[in-house]
Amino acid sequence: MPAFIGASELIINPKGAVYHLDLAPEQLADTVITVGDPDRVAEVSRHFDRIEHKARHREFVTHTGYIGSKRISVVGTGIGPDNIDIVINELDALANIDFDTRQPKDDIKSLQIIRLGTSGSLQEDIPVDSLVVSSHGVGLDNLLHYYQRNETATEAGLLHDFVRHTGLHERAVVPYLASCAPELASLFRAPFIHGITVTCPGFYGPQGRVLRGPVAFPELIDRLTSFRSGEFRVTNFEMETSAIYGLGSLLGHRCLSISTIVANRVHKTFSADAGRAVENMIVTSLEIIASGAMSN
């Protein structure tokens, strides 16, 4: 019999909803879109034909509804890998733990989790307003080091090349690498650009931005831009993808991260209309997500 999960380990509020997301199991769809900005939840759900449920607790906002017959939940995660730890674990609990018995279900469900976010390009030929699909996420945070997971041989080889090229094997940062769900990535063809996304635990120093505080790795941007391993290169960086991929795959979910490029760090440019570029990502992605090609 599966182990009983205590009240301190999985917090369920008096409404029968998981603590942070404030959702009950029946209020979550099998296809989940995550967005960092809580206000972007409504920007996505306004394209729904109908909304059946809305929830908000702290920065976690959720709308569940339909486009045609496709049921979709949109969840605002907030920024950073620490919030992703909360969101992915609670999404999995909603799908795969019986809240009455506090035990994992016999039949484990695999969710589709698609991130629609913003990001900075690390290549000259990926301009602002481009759309990038993350083939892999390289984490410069430490979230996945708290979990037991096994890399594939391909992932281990790619990570080895990355660490050696960037020189991070001589530093305090210990990267990890996780892959997207390839069957989802294959649905997002041109104009989507595919490449490796690096996930950072912060926006300024961890991404090489220098304001007044000196950074420990001033060469990081150049090392990321110049990385090559076979067909792979680093296209962009942001603050959630590797955590979604690593934790999602560990729990058996199919994950994909899609980003609007709002900044090009090589040219030091920023989108003249980031809102319009994000709206283009939402509309273009929803057409694919709601299509019959992306079945549950």
Nearest Cα neighbor of 208 from 196, 223, 195 is 223
> 């050696």: which residue's tokens?
164
For position 172, what pLDDT does the model report? 84
Whether domain 25-289 has CATH 3.30.750.200: the reply is: no
What confidence tier does 2 reach under pLDDT thresholds 50, 70, 90? low
Burial 151-182 (b: 16+ CB within 10 A, else e): eeeebeebbeebbebbebeeeebebbbbbbbe
Q: Where are the domains of the chain?
A: 25-289
Instruction: Please give the share of the chain, as a percent, with pLDDT higher than 70.
Output: 98
195 backbone dihedrals φ, ψ, rounded to 5° = 180, 180
Question: Model pTM?
Answer: 0.96
- Output the average pLDDT for the chain: 95
Any bridge partners for residue 259, and if so which?
117, 132
Token digits of residue 221:
């941007």
What confidence tier does 115 reach under pLDDT thresholds 50, 70, 90? very high
pLDDT digits (tens, 9 = 90+) for 160-189: 999 999 998 777 899 999 999 999 999 999
Q: Taking CA 49 as the corner, what is the angle to CA 43 and CA 52, rounded to the nearest 5 degrees?
A: 85
